[in-house]
Amino acid sequence: MQLLLRSGGQQIIIDMERADDRPLLVGQYTYRPRRLAGKVRRLVAKMWPDMPSSVLDERLTFEAMDNGRETAWGDSGSFSPRSGSTVLLGRWDEDGSVGIALHELAHEMHLRHGGYDDSDGVVREALAMLAEREAGLRRTFEREPYHSACQLIEQLEELPAFSRMAFSKRWAEVVSVTSAAGLADLINYYLDRSERLGLARWLDRLTKNVDVRDQLLARLASTSLRYSLDLRRHLIKKLVQCKPEMPVDQLMYVLDSIATLDRRYPNDDLERIINFCFAPYVPQRRRLFAFGS
pLDDT digits (tens, 9 = 90+) for 116-174: 999 999 999 999 999 999 999 999 999 999 999 999 999 999 999 999 999 999 999 99
H or E, element range at 153: helix 146-158
Contact by Cβ (8 Å): 278, 254 = yes
Task: Please name the residues in contact with 195: beta carbons below 8 A apart, sequence gap of 6 or more.
Answer: 233
Least confident of 60-64, 65-69, 179-183: 65-69
The pLDDT value recorded for residue 21 is 87
Element (H, E) at 195: helix 180-195
pTM to 2 decimals?
0.91
Does 46 have pLDDT greater than 70?
yes
Nearest CA among 47, 56, 243 for reference residue 130? 47
| Burial state string for 98-118 with b = 16 or more CB within 10 A and e = fewer than 16 | bbbbbbbbbbbbbeeeeebee
pLDDT at 16 over 60: yes
DSSP E strand stretches across the chain: 2-7, 10-15, 24-26, 29-31, 60-65, 77-80, 84-88
Contact call for residues 69 and 9 (beta carbons, < 8 A): no
Q: How open is the CA angle 45-48-49, to the nearest 5 degrees?
A: 55
pLDDT in tens, 224-262: 999 999 999 999 999 999 998 999 999 999 999 999 999
pLDDT at 292: 47
Cα dist from 126 to 82, 156, 253, whole Å: 21, 10, 30
DSSP state letters, 222-254? HHTTT--HHHHHHHHHHHHTS-TTS-HHHHHHH
Confidence of residue 7 (pLDDT cuts 50, 70, 90): confident
Name the average pLDDT for the chain: 93
Q: Rounded to whole angstroms, how far apart are CA atoms 14 and 229?
A: 46
Percent of the chain whose pLDDT exceeds 90: 89
Confidence of residue 66 (pLDDT cuts 50, 70, 90): low
Confidence of residue 272 (pLDDT cuts 50, 70, 90): very high
Q: Which tens digits make up the pLDDT trace of 69-118?
A: 454 445 799 999 999 999 999 999 999 999 999 999 999 999 999 999 99
* Residue 293 pLDDT level (bands cut at 50, 70, 90): very low
Residues 80 and 107: beta-carbon distance below 8 Å: no
- In this prediction, residue 286 has a pLDDT band, given cuts at 50, 70 and 90, of low
| For range 58-75, the mean pLDDT | 70
Q: What pLDDT is stored for residue 79 in this prediction? A: 97
